[in-house]
């Protein structure tokens, strides 16, 4: 595949792996957080961890849009579809996220709620146009990447006077989440989570640019390398981070220059600014309430705001007691540290959100990497975890 295979070249990967191995100082450890689920997925899918020396360790971050969606918000969406009789349009990943009372959007759909999977919010607009007698709500989730299309859909609905269309907005912001992780007591005071540097988001950065990360480099002295989602991008970014750390630098570097500029996509940013405003606070699954970390629809577009239209009341719901998604999303624990991982919590029957999306740390580890559990003494979890488990359904 042209323009893709170039970034998946195994020979180049070996060369990069050799450089990383040569340059990584055997006397220290490198804890690098990939913020984005896209990177988590690439690392697992291409087996990147196999190519890294043992002292270079990847820590999964909270950048999986489905994973950080709190249970209460999914409950709200289910109520909209089930009790208010709307057509709820959602991205497919959200369908299986466990909500309260053993429900999920998938189960609500099976019970008769009109829930439809869409590939983009433009599809939701079309459904609204095609069903003028029904109310249609788009369940908007995601980081800065999915926000501009939602803004465009709202502007388009306003232009067309689509009175039966609204958006249940759950868009969240990357920089706020990174700040929150760096400010968490586990990182800042206790030193429980050693974090030496970040691989910065790929697609998010095409929108917001590289400038917003300058603050982390300056304020927290953590190097950031923005990288694409292809495996060679990730390898190159790891090498760049190792070099920065070896040289005592903490800068924002851009590996993904083919798509990311310092200022990002001005048009997209303007669209977002036109339609959305900052929320004072928003609950993230795993991170709790994070100030100024999410967007709400501006008053001017209140007619298209499902929260206003249906008087949605948010009720926080605690995670399942045994679920470690919170700690995993903060980088404090790894999937294999969770007691229910791979036993009670599997992709077929997820307990926590990290097991749902293919970008979730647990799902990625379960799907691509669990044969290694126990083979690495540096990782918790024993081989017997799987010895008794039927690998089938």
Partner 1 sequence: MTKGQEKVESDPTFRRRGAYVRPIDFRNGRVDMTHGSGGRAMAQLIDELFAAAFDNEWLRQGNDGARVNPPPGRLVVATDCHVITPLFFPGGDIGALSVHGTINDVAVMGATPLWLAAGFVLEEGFPLADLKRIVHSMAGAAREAGVPIVTGDTKVVEKGKGDGVFITTTGVGVVADGVDLSGDRARPGDRVIVSGTMGDHGVAIMSLRENLTFETTIESDTAALHGLTAAMLAAAPDLRVMRDPTRGGLATTLNEIARQSQVGFVIDEAAIPLKSEVEAACEFLGLDPLYVANEGKLVAVCAAADADHLLAAMRAHPLGRGAGIIGEVIEDRHHFVQMDTRFGGRRIVDWLAGEQLPRIC
Binding site for partner 1 (CB under 8 A): 1, 4, 8-10, 13-14, 17, 44-51, 95-96, 118-119, 123, 126, 231, 346-348, 363, 366-371, 386-387, 390-393
Which stretches does DSSP call E strand in 235-334? 252-254, 276-278, 281-284, 288-291, 295-297
**Shortest Cβ 384–partner 1 spacing (Å):** 11
Nearer to partner 1, 81 or 124 (CB): 124
Nearer to partner 1, 121 or 173 (CB): 121
**Shortest Cβ 95–partner 1 spacing (Å):** 8
Residues sharing a CB contact under 8 Å with residue 181, sequence separation 6 or more, in sequence order: 33, 61, 62, 187, 195, 287, 330, 331
Nearer to partner 1, 8 or 298 (CB): 8
- C-alpha–C-alpha distance, residues 105 and 75, integer Å: 9
Question: What is the CB neighbour count within 10 angstroms for residue 16?
Answer: 19
Tell me the sheet residues that pair with 284: 288
For strand 224-226 and strand 115-117, is the pairing parallel, antiparallel, or unpaired? unpaired
**Shortest Cβ 186–partner 1 spacing (Å):** 30
**Shortest Cβ 174–partner 1 spacing (Å):** 20
**Shortest Cβ 37–partner 1 spacing (Å):** 12
Nearer to partner 1, 47 or 191 (CB): 47
**Shortest Cβ 104–partner 1 spacing (Å):** 11
**Shortest Cβ 332–partner 1 spacing (Å):** 25
Nearer to partner 1, 51 or 141 (CB): 51
Nearer to partner 1, 1 or 313 (CB): 1
**Shortest Cβ 254–partner 1 spacing (Å):** 23
Q: What DSSP designation does 188 have?
A: H
Tell me the Cα Rg of the chain: 21
Structure-block tokens of residue 274: 């036109």
- C-alpha–C-alpha distance, residues 172 and 200, integer Å: 16
Nearer to partner 1, 143 or 220 (CB): 143
Q: For residue 345, report the phi and psi dihedrals to the nearest 5 degrees.
A: -100, 110
Residues sharing a CB contact under 8 Å with residue 339, sequence separation 6 or more, in sequence order: 322, 324
- C-alpha–C-alpha distance, residues 221 and 97, integer Å: 36
**Got the DSSP string for 97-145?**
---GGG--HHHHHHTT--EEE-SSHHHHHHHHHH-TTS-EEEEEEESTT
Nearer to partner 1, 46 or 220 (CB): 46
**Shortest Cβ 200–partner 1 spacing (Å):** 22
Nearer to partner 1, 261 or 346 (CB): 346
CA atoms within 13 A on the CB side of 164: 18
């Amino acid at each position: 595949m042209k323009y893709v295979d170039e970034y998946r070249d195994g020979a180049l990967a070996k060369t990069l792996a050799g450089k990383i191995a040569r340059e990584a100082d055997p006397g220290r450890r490198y804890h690098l957080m990939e913020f984005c689920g896209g990177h988590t997925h690439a690392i697992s899918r291409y087996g990147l961890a196999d190519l890294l020396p043992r002292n270079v360790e990847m820590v999964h971050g909270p950048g999986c849009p489905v994973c950080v969606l709190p249970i209460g918000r999914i409950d709200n969406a289910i109520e909209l579809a089930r009790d208010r009789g709307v057509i709820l349009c959602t991205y497919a990943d959200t369908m299986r996220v466990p909500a309260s009372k053993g429900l999920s959007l998938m189960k609500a759909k099976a019970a008769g709620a009109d829930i439809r999977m869409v590939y983009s919010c433009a599809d939701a607009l079309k459904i609204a146009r095609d069903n003028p007698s029904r109310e249609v709500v788009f369940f908007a989730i995601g980081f800065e990447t999915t926000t501009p299309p939602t803004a465009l859909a709202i502007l388009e609905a306003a232009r067309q006077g689509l009175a039966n269309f609204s958006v249940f907005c759950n868009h969240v912001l990357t920089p706020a989440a990174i700040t929150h992780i760096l400010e968490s007591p586990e990182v800042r005071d206790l030193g429980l989570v050693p974090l030496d540097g970040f691989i910065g988001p790929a697609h998010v950065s095409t929108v917001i640019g590289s400038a917003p990360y300058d603050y982390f480099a300056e304020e927290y002295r953590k190097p950031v390398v923005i990288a694409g989602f292809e495996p060679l991008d990730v390898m190159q970014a790891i090498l760049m981070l190792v070099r920065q750390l070896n040289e005592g630098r903490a800068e924002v570097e851009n590996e993904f220059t083919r798509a990311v500029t310092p200022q990002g996509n001005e048009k997209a940013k303007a669209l977002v600014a036109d339609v959305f405003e900052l929320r004072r606070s928003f609950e993230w699954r795993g991170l709790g309430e994070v100030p100024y970390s999410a967007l709400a629809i501006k008053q001017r577009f209140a007619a298209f705001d499902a929260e206003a239209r249906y008087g949605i009341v948010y009720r926080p719901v605690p995670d399942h007691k045994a679920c470690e998604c919170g700690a995993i999303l903060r980088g404090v624990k790894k999937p294999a540290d969770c007691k229910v991982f791979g036993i009670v919590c599997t992709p077929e029957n997820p307990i926590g959100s990290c097991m749902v999306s293919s970008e979730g740390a647990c799902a990625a580890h379960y799907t691509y990497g669990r044969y290694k559990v126990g083979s690495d003494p540096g990782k918790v979890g024993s081989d017997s975890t799987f010895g008794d488990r039927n690998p089938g359904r």
